[in-house]
Structure 1
Amino acid sequence: MRSLLIPLAILGLSSHAQAQALNSTGLMSALQAAGLTALATALQRANETKAGQDLIGELLNGSSNHTVFAPNNAAFDAPGVSAIANNPAEIANILSYHVVPGNFVNIADGNSTLISATFPSVTVARTSLTNSTLVNLEGNKPQVVAWTRNDTSNSKVYFLNQSPEVTVLSTTAVGNLLIATISGVLIPPPDIEKVLAANNLMSLNGIVSNVPVPSFYSNGTNATVEQALEANKTRGFTFFCPNDAAIKDAESALTGLTNNQTALVTLLANHYVNGTASYSPELTSSTSELVSAAGQSFSFISNSSGTYVASSNGASAKIVKTDALVENGVIHIVDHVLVNLNRDDAKASSAYSSATAAAAKSATQTGPISPTSTSSSGGKPGGGKGSGNSALAVSVASAGGAMLVGAVGWILFMGVVVG
């Protein structure tokens, strides 16, 4: 996909006016000066599609700030990337995941420095990727991208969920754009099975890819748990996922529950929220009314040893890894099973209704996701305190949902997939 320097006059934009607008922003000049010729070629191919033209039009909007994560030439030589060199639609989708609307300039460090949290904190931002074949978040919200740095000195910013690691190499401001050159092409989040495998969650991975959910579909046929979680009705979820060690440690304590499927359904439902994907910047002590599928409230506390999630009965776990992004949700990995067998179906139903109503509001993220994130409309996306999401949960009253949770819980604690 690498090419020679492409003059602006032959970029192949959809109109002369667009080419002039690109010139006026200095975008192409900046790409050329940085030697990002492969990215210029990618933009040319993407512009052959409606999605690519819309993306270019978004960047040409001089009244809006954007950050462009610009892969260097070497990044486009990666096998998985070069394989789509002749597929304009896929190129447009990938490039959309590299554009972040809003102001992400760290003014304190200069007008061309990218805002970044310091690990274990993470910066999470909405991208321009909305294609439903790649992202199915609540309210048709765009997919997010997450990044951080290891310390406050000159350590490089790196992106979560990318293998091999992708880092920010340099940044420059061009008008209302912040162009950040990066070392690789960012790949959008995959389905839950791939995310579990990538995070060495072998027990749960075995469950979602092999365990059947009887009569899940309306015609009475079975689905795997993976297929159920990927169904169109599962749009936006937050799962506090016990790692393999946590599941193994819980075996003896939960032996008495193996013959009580109702209790197992409740137990797993108290790890899982549906209807909203809640990212780590939103999980703070001020987070209110984050409700599990079984109607139990979550609370969060951070101290020098890390961030902890607690269920309403006091069961708690440390979040050992945050923001494992999924195409239709997010996973936070925890080190203990949250043993809470209480449930409140009325609260769960109310919470899910509130989350669904809030997600339906159209909003455009204009900065990093946080408990006080703002947007261009009256609603505030993200699901943190003040977001308009008075509750974040899903009712498991439906037969499909109950069977899904029941199947997962039953296999989980019978020890079938625990090494």
Structure 2
Amino acid sequence: MIDWFKRMAAVSALAFLAACGGSDDDPPPGTLAQEATEAGFSALVAAADKAGLVPALSDASATLTVFAPTDAAFTSLATTLGFASAEAMVTALDGPTLAKILQYHVLPARKSAADLVAGGGSEATLYTFDGAAATLALNTTAGVKLTDEVLTEASVTTADVPASNGVIHVIDKVLVPPGVLNVVQMAQLNPAFSTLVGAVVDADLAGTLSDATAEYTVFAPTNAAFEAIASTVESLTPEQIADVLVYHVLDSQVLAADIPFGTPVATVLGQTITINAGTPPTITDSTDSPAGIVATDVRASNGVIHVIDKVLIPTL
């Protein structure tokens, strides 16, 4: 009798394996949360856990797309912002802040790489800012690249990792959403502003511009703009450099749609600038050469940044 049961068990096992296509078949994928955990995205999983997003990523009825930054990407973000490590950053940030950052990495539908290529120039995320879904700009001319609020690109390095409730695309940078980090942090995260950030730190203005209770408009010159006046900067005293910097700051938030073209606007320095309508708009300072506004409305938690291609010079 025992032998008969063994033979029946063996036959049943063979029949089951045949029905499933054999023992070498890959197991079905787990949920987004499970796949991220098994793939070793430790910083992402820790942030999602603290943000309270694991249940949403484990929901069997969901259909989502997750852009998953690597641990190296989280470490890069953390060290740029002054944290010792990705773990230290996740520990320091509160759950709601982490939730905003991570929701900016999630699309509310399953989008394969082919879907992203075919879908157009932008995708709406699960993160809501100013009453609307925050979007990511897409460049699909060579692979898939995503531009975030700080105007830097993340590349999809591994696409179409399947999950039972969506798909994961691995990216090489943490995407920075609007309205979460202050104006200094936003500038820190764009290498094109490294000269500006260094000057702000040296002038002891970083603390002021990081004030969570204030609202600022910062006209941010690029590194190339500073390079163009390198000899002039070398001739200035530290006090004059500080004056130059605060000449780029308004003490209220002025979005592109609200710019009072043609009207002199007082800066924090006390001297005025005039913003002129055009394509692109320009800014008149104390010199004969206007600055072009090359990008607008980089939204921070305490104001807005507009990118300019010339350093504004006050009367010194």
TM-score (norm 2): 0.51
Deviation of 1:43 (Å): 3.3
Give the Cα separation in 2 of the matches to 1:329 and 1:148. 25
Aligned equivalent of 1:333, options 307, 310, 314:
307
Aligned equivalent of 1:318, options 271, 276, 292:
292
Deviation of 1:230 (Å): 1.4
Letter in 1 for 2:191: A
Q: State the partner residue of 2:258.
A: 289
Q: CA RMSD in A?
A: 5.9
Deviation of 1:59 (Å): 5.8
- Correspondence list, 1:21-36, <5 A: 28-30=30-32, 32=34
Letter in 2 for 1:68: V
Unaligned runs of 5+ residues in structure 1 are 1-25, 118-122, 130-136, 212-223, 303-307, 340-408, 415-419
The alignment partner of 1:43 has SS state of: helix
Alpha carbons of 1:206 and 1:85: their partners in 2 closer, same or farther (altered >3 Å)? closer
Give the Cα separation in 1 of the matches to 2:33 and 2:289. 52
Aligned equivalent of 2:101, options 97, 101, 111:
97
Residue 71 of structure 1 contacts residue 184 of structure 1 at CA under 8 Å; is this kept in 2?
yes
Letter in 1 for 2:45: L
Alpha carbons of 1:59 and 1:114: their partners in 2 closer, same or farther (altered >3 Å)? farther
The alignment partner of 1:227 has SS state of: helix
Q: Which moves more between the two structures, 77-86 or 178-187?
A: 77-86
Structure 1 or 2: more helix by fraction? 2
The alignment partner of 2:174 has SS state of: coil
Letter in 1 for 2:202: N
Q: State the partner residue of 2:3.
A: none
The alignment partner of 1:97 has SS state of: helix
1:304-355 deviations in whole A, cap 9, x for unaligned?
xxxx22248997433456777766445443223457xxxxxxxxxxxxxxxx
Residue 291 of structure 2 contacts residue 309 of structure 2 at CA under 8 Å; is this kept in 1?
yes
Matched-pair identity in %: 17
Aligned equivalent of 2:191, options 198, 203, 207:
198
1:243-284 deviations in whole A, cap 9, x for unaligned?
214545888xxx9xx99xxxx79x965x44454475xxxx5x
Unaligned runs of 5+ residues in structure 2 are 1-27
Residue 217 of structure 2 contacts residue 251 of structure 2 at CA under 8 Å; is this kept in 1?
yes
Aligned equivalent of 1:37, options 27, 36, 39:
39
Aligned equivalent of 2:201, options 209, 232, 235:
209
The alignment partner of 1:155 has SS state of: coil
Residue 196 of structure 1 contacts residue 205 of structure 1 at CA under 8 Å; is this kept in 2?
no
Q: State the partner residue of 1:170.
A: 159
Give the Cα separation in 2 of the matches to 1:300 and 1:63. 50
- Correspondence list, 1:216-231, <5 A: 224-231=204-211
Give the Cα separation in 2 of the matches to 1:229 and 1:210. 13
Deviation of 1:210 (Å): 3.3
Q: Max radius of gyration: which structure? A: 2
Alpha carbons of 1:310 and 1:106: their partners in 2 closer, same or farther (altered >3 Å)? farther
- In the comparison of the two structures, how many residue pairs are matched? 258
Letter in 2 for 1:71: P
State whether structure 2 residue 131 is matched by structure 1 residue 182.
Answer: no
Residue 31 of structure 2 contacts residue 60 of structure 2 at CA under 8 Å; is this kept in 1?
no
- Correspondence list, 1:239-278, <5 A: 239-241=219-221, 243-247=225-229, 269=247, 271-276=248-253, 278=255
Residue 216 of structure 2 contacts residue 251 of structure 2 at CA under 8 Å; is this kept in 1?
yes
Aligned equivalent of 2:143, options 147, 151, 155:
155
Deviation of 1:186 (Å): 0.9
Deviation of 1:70 (Å): 1.7
Alpha carbons of 1:239 and 1:27: their partners in 2 closer, same or farther (altered >3 Å)? farther
TM-score (norm 1): 0.41
Residue 29 of structure 2 contacts residue 162 of structure 2 at CA under 8 Å; is this kept in 1?
no
Residue 297 of structure 2 contacts residue 306 of structure 2 at CA under 8 Å; is this kept in 1?
yes
Give the Cα separation in 1 of the matches to 2:30 and 2:117. 20
